Amino acid sequence: MKLHNIHSREELIKKRAAETFHRKACSFYRYIHIENPQTFRNHLYLAWYPLGVLGRIYVSYEGINAQLCVPEYQWDHFADSLSLFPETQDMFINEALTEGDQLFKIRYQGERKNCRRRYRWQYFCAKSWRKARQSY
């Protein structure tokens, strides 16, 4: 199995339009040290691709941030899969009030400085906060 998207955005939009089921959109984040983000990303992909999970999942050494949608009939399996990984166990999930129609593919991004660069104005932990303060 390839651990990356193999379809174009246009193909996925057509596929989503043909779906006969509803999706549940959600988001979550956890600022936690991840020893090997690439390996963790691969494990998430292998667990969630068969469930039809679509969205954006950012994984870095500093944690995980995700905005995604899950087929409603797979929601329980998705929620159970979160307990498979120590990084996502007992994590609060923000569920959207509307169906998740905006996400077309699952995209994982692993990068060492991802959290600091994207969310520079937020204070994640004491170490990141000190570094962010020094850079202003």
Cα distance between residue 48 and residue 69, in whole Å: 11
Average pLDDT over residues 43-60: 90
Question: How big is the CA angle at 45 (ends 44 and 46), to the nearest 5 degrees?
Answer: 90
Q: What are the pLDDT digits (tens) for 77-122? A: 999 999 999 999 988 888 876 654 554 444 545 554 444 444 433 3
User: pLDDT over 70 for what percent of the chain?
Assistant: 68
Mean residue pLDDT of the chain comes to 76
Which residue, among 76, 15, 77, has the nearest Cα to 50 in the 3D structure? Answer: 77
Q: What are the pLDDT digits (tens) for 27-44? A: 899 999 999 999 999 999
Tokens representing 115? 């959290």
Q: One-letter amino acid identity for 83? A: S
pLDDT score of 43: 92
Name the packing angle between helices 75-82 and 37-48 (round to 10°): 150
